[in-house]
Amino acid sequence: MFTGIVSDQGLVRSVRRDGDTRIEIETAYDTAGLAIGASVCCAGCCLTVVAKGAGWFAVDASAETLARTTLSSWKAGTQINLERALRAGDELGGHIVSGHVDGLAQLIAQRQEGDSLRLTFEVTDSLRRFIAPKGSVTVEGVSLTVNEVEGNRFGVNLIPHTRRVTTLGGLKGGDRVNLEIDMLARYVARLLETGAT
């Protein structure tokens, strides 16, 4: 489990595609304390550390992961948001994030709003019912509050700090991002579908 509070911006240093895809990521984390088998949220995707060295770790991505996320577009030099898994007693600063990407969203507009940057994303019909004004959403691993929802579009604001410490400030119109809906919204929708009381 994660919180959507990014603690490092990693840099993809290599991508090797044979069988599953092996991705090596440079990080400021002390990798001596990063166990093989540990979970790291990489741009919103929960991935398992399979190898490591000083200042880097590697993960494997399956065909399913590549088909449903932005990982298929990663190459050497791609910057990604990183967050290590929660430990008992850690501060829950964002919201509960599983690292299971629900789908992709596309950035369709951005504008300056005071010191903040307003981003508008578009999602598929299957995801829009899970996104509510003042609810939470995870974009590229970042916990954000939804400002408004209009049809398949929703808006969020990035304060200057979030723009500095995450990759979101560098997004351009048309970019696709990993999206995870709020876990509570997922379960409430499921209960309503099944008619459970």
Three-class DSSP category at 143: strand
- Which tens digits make up the pLDDT trace of 60-88? 999 999 999 999 999 999 999 999 998 77
Closest CA to 159 of 179, 180, 142, 137: 142
Alpha helices in the chain (DSSP H): 63-68, 125-128, 160-165, 183-194
Q: Give pLDDT, residue 90.
A: 72
Mean pLDDT of 156-178: 97
Residue 89 belongs to a domain: no
Reported as a pLDDT band with limits 50, 70 and 90, residue 197 is low
b/e sequence 58-89, b meaning 16+ C-beta within 10 Å? bbbbeeebbebbbbeebeeebebbbbbebeee
**Residue 48 confidence (pLDDT) above 90:** yes
Residue 1 belongs to a domain: no
**Residue 170 confidence (pLDDT) above 70:** yes
Two tokens, residue 49: 């550390």
Starting from the edge strand earliest in sequence, which strands make up the sheet with 153-158, in order?
142-145, 136-139, 176-181, 103-113, 116-122, 153-158, 148-150
Residues with Cβ within 8 Å of 14's Cβ and at least 6 positions away in sequence, in order, are: 22, 23, 24, 76
Q: Give pLDDT, residue 137.
A: 97
For residues 177 and 111, membership in a common domain is answered with yes
Residue 144 belongs to a domain: yes
Could you tell me if 123 and 193 are in contact, meaning their C-beta atoms sit under 8 angstroms apart?
Answer: no
- Which tens digits make up the pLDDT trace of 91-122? 777 788 899 999 999 999 999 999 999 999 99
Q: What percent of the chain has pLDDT over 70?
A: 95
Our count of domains for the chain comes to 2
For residues 16 and 71, membership in a common domain is answered with yes
**Other C-beta atoms lying within 10 Å of the C-beta of residue 16:** 12
Domain with 59 in it: what CATH number?
2.40.30.20
- Which tens digits make up the pLDDT trace of 9-38? 999 999 999 888 999 999 999 999 999 999
**Is the backbone of residue 99 left (phi > 0), alpha (psi -120 to 50) or beta?**
left
**Residue that terminates a domain, selected from 21, 50, 84:** 84
Q: Give pLDDT, residue 190.
A: 67
**Residue 89 confidence (pLDDT) above 90:** no
Closest CA to 128 of 107, 144, 150: 150
Q: What is the largest CA-CA distance in the chain?
A: 52
Domain that holds residue 18: 8-84
